[in-house]
């Protein structure tokens, strides 16, 4: 019972990341560069505190993961793309695009690197998901800003790469190290960006939204999720993550008064349904 409660809380936390980011940027409470840096820095601090309170046994894989900076670079790309995208995207749509890009990245890795073979039905579901995704982000679809969608896709690809790089490592240790290094990477980037761009915004509310996103819904959310993943099947974990975009869509409508057209809702349903069917077929196979 505890693991399912933790799983539900983790999914809500992931969805809330989108709402917190969107509220800060759309409400002009904080600029995207500052939000990304504060989120990463506060996440690193919270993970360091957790590591002191609940020590993790160090393993060879954990130490090995800590050596590489590629994970930190991928995490920084995700953080920046995520925040820059939410200048233009609604919370729910952003979560859907992010999740889809992550899945497509992982599938591409399975096909081209791991040489995994898919059945005909899997290819059909993948084609349906990709078709719905392209239709959703096409320039003629006025409901979604193409530049915002592009930034979120970049963020999703980066998160997919980050996930692949982290395979075999002790999750919490690797995440803490990558968050810390990502904060170091983004500090000069954010400083330079704020010097040369005129979109500087800073309010106490925006600062608190970024800290909440980093320390609570990111650091604690990831920790809860790692607790769950160690106790359920991989297929269950993959399917469970499908709940994040719908949760973000519902919470965005309730809390941020975001609205979707019927065509957008239809394409979202096809995209999520096709990825769900693909996932079920993959693990059944």
Confidence bin at 139 (pLDDT 50/70/90)? low
pLDDT of residue 62: 55
Domain parsing of the chain, residue ranges:
2-284
Hey, how many other C-beta atoms are within 10 angstroms of the C-beta on 179? 29
Asked if residues 188 and 20 have their Cβ atoms less than 8 Å apart, the reply is no
Answer yes or no: is pLDDT of 244 > 80.
yes
Over residues 76-97, mean pLDDT: 94
Burial per residue of 9-20, b for 16 or more beta-carbon CB atoms within 10 angstroms, e otherwise? bbbbbbbbbbbb
Read off the pLDDT of residues 5-50 as tens digits, 9 standing for 90 and up.
Answer: 888 999 999 999 999 999 999 999 999 999 999 999 999 999 999 9
pLDDT of residue 130: 92
pLDDT of residue 32: 94
What φ, ψ does residue 202 adopt, rounded to 5°?
-150, 120
pLDDT of residue 194: 82
80 Cβ neighbours under 8 A, 6+ residues apart:
32, 33, 36, 155, 186, 189
Task: Record the pTM.
Answer: 0.91
The whole-angstrom separation of Cα 60 and Cα 48 is 20
Residue 64 to residues 52, 102, 169, 229: CA-CA distances in angstroms?
21, 24, 8, 21
Over residues 121-127, mean pLDDT: 92
Rg (alpha carbons) of the chain, rounded to whole number: 18
Confidence bin at 173 (pLDDT 50/70/90)? confident
């Amino acid at each position: 019972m505890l693991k399912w409660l933790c799983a539900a809380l983790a999914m809500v936390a992931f969805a809330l990341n989108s709402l917190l980011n969107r509220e800060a940027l759309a409400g002009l409470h904080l600029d995207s560069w500052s939000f990304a840096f504060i989120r990463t820095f506060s996440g690193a601090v919270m993970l360091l505190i957790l590591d002191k309170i609940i020590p993790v046994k160090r393993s060879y894989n954990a130490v090995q993961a800590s050596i590489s900076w590629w994970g930190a670079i991928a995490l920084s790309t995700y953080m920046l793309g995520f925040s820059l995208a939410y200048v233009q995207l609604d919370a729910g749509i952003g979560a859907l695009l992010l999740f889809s890009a992550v899945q497509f990245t992982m599938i591409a890795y399975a096909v081209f690197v791991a040489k995994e073979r898919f059945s005909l039905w899997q290819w059909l579901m993948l084609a349906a998901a990709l078709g719905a995704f392209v239709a959703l982000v096409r320039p003629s679809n006025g409901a979604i800003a193409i530049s915002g969608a592009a930034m979120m896709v970049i963020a999703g690809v980066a998160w997919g790469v980050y996930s692949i790089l982290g395979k075999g490592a002790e999750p919490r240790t690797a995440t803490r190290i990558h968050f810390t290094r990502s904060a170091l990477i983004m500090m000069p980037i954010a400083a330079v960006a704020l010097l040369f761009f005129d979109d500087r915004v800073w309010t106490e509310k925006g600062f608190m939204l970024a800290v909440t996103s980093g320390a609570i819904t990111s650091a604690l959310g990831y920790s809860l999720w790692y607790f769950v993943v160690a106790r359920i099947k991989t297929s269950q974990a993959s399917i469970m993550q499908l709940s994040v975009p719908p949760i973000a869509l519902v919470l965005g409508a309730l809390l941020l008064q975001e609205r979707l057209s019927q065509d957008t809702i239809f394409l979202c349903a096809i995209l999520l349904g096709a990825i769900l069917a693909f996932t079920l077929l993959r693990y059944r196979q």
